[in-house]
Amino acid sequence: MNFQNRPAGGASRNDPDVCNAKPRARRIMLYSHDTFGLGHLRRSRALASALTAADDTTSAIILTGSPVAGRFTFPERVDHVRLPGVTKLHDGSYVSETLGLDIDKTTSLRSALIQSTVEQYDPDLLIVDKEPAGFRGELLPTLEWLAERGQTRLVLGLRDVLDEADVLAAEWARKGAIEATEKFYDEIWVYGPRSVYDPTEGLQLSPETRARMHWTGYLRREITDDVETPDTPYVLITPGGGGDGAALVDLVLQAYEQAPDLSPDAVLIYGPFLSGDVREAFEQRVARLNGRVSAVGFDGRIESLFAGAQGVVCMGGYNTFCEVLSFDQRAVIVPRTVPRLEQWIRAARAEEIGLVHMLDENRDGMTADAMIKAIRGLPTQQRPSQAGAEGLLDGLDVVVARTKALMAQK
């Protein structure tokens, strides 16, 4: 996309008065719609942390709809703006989380807040996570404004797997995502290796747009905040955000209930979205296991727990998978299969190349015996590094390099 051909609006950063001034520090904005779970926010936080660490004058703001954004720590020069939250119902429709507005008014409010924040912050780079047009098209007015102004580079960031090809193609057609991708974005970054999976398979993207795609590799995670970890060996159990993790937690508890000699002990992180009566019932079961399983609700500094574990039992979300690879953990992945096959596709492909073991409902059965066998097998399972995982984790370095290249074109 050639910015020289875009019409300029208002004062340009190339005007003489601007050019004679001291060069301003780079500003990066990341859009993370966050209607469910933690994945988008955590990925955006990892990107913002790496980009600001690479240049001590760069700042970043994350636009997020996550209701738990305030429970995370952010590094220096990284902040977030909370958009009004929305909740996805079982039938696929959305409702406002707290405001009592209908979804159309909530979307309009979010859209106006996004544009106002972008206009005031005036970013050099906007990185949009997963949704080219934003939630229900809320990003389109801002993308149009930025394109007309011609001062901000626009990047669409995609995780390694989105969904099965035909389902994704129908979804992007319905949302106008293909048109938005073709029209607005200077580059597309895929946060995974091309050798593992192509999330755009089946999408009718033009050759010109595909030429702007870059596979970064997975986004490496590091310990950012040290926390106390158990002194004795443990298996880490994490259903990610926890909103759809009750089945995994139940299966693990069944395993420890039915096998009194199952070891090592387990540390269970429920996630912020597993709550209410379901969690209360789990707490009662944990108490009866007399310390063999300990549980906490949520910890935004889960990296230390990953690093210290003897193995991991988890769902197959993108961020959890990056942590498995980054901390070279033997892992059993129990992927969800609804509403998307994303986690199953990722886990199946990872198992195929020897990175993890997957507990597959159709092949292994979702039974306590299957989970007991999987946990017992963790000590003899090969680590991801033995299958070449180290070569898959260049994502943050590539993102920093691509950002520098884009900024050099301004």
DSSP per residue over 1-60, as a string?
A: --GGGSPP-SS-TTSHHHHTSPPPPPEEEEEE--SSSSHHHHHHHHHHHHHHHT-TT-EE
- Checking if the pLDDT of 410 tops 80, the result is no
Express each pLDDT in 83-121 by its tens digit.
998 887 766 678 888 778 999 999 999 999 999 999 999
Which domains, ranges and CATH numbers included, belong to the chain? 3-219+394-408 (3.40.50.2000), 234-391 (3.40.50.2000)
For 34-60, what is the mean pLDDT? 89
Q: Which two tokens stand for residue 394?
A: 């260049």
Express each pLDDT in 290-328 by its tens digit.
999 999 887 667 889 999 999 999 999 999 999 999 999
More confident residue, 58 or 65: 58
- Checking if the pLDDT of 123 tops 50, the result is yes
Residue 6 binned pLDDT confidence (cut-offs 50, 70, 90): very low
DSSP letters, 91-144, are TS-EEESSS---HHHHHHHHHHHHHHHHHHH--SEEEEES-TT-GGGTTHHHHH
* 230 CA to centre of own chain: 27
**Least-confidence region, from 7-21, 209-223, 345-359, 381-395:** 7-21
pLDDT given for residue 301 in this prediction: 73
Residue 302 contacts residue 309 (beta carbons within 8 Å): no
Per the DSSP assignment, residues forming a β-bridge with 63 are 31, 81
Q: What is the pTM of this model?
A: 0.91
pLDDT given for residue 159 in this prediction: 96
More confident residue, 259 or 90: 259
Whole-number Å distance between alpha carbons of 28 and 32: 13
Q: Which helix (H) or strand (E) holds 157?
A: strand 153-159
pLDDT given for residue 15 in this prediction: 54
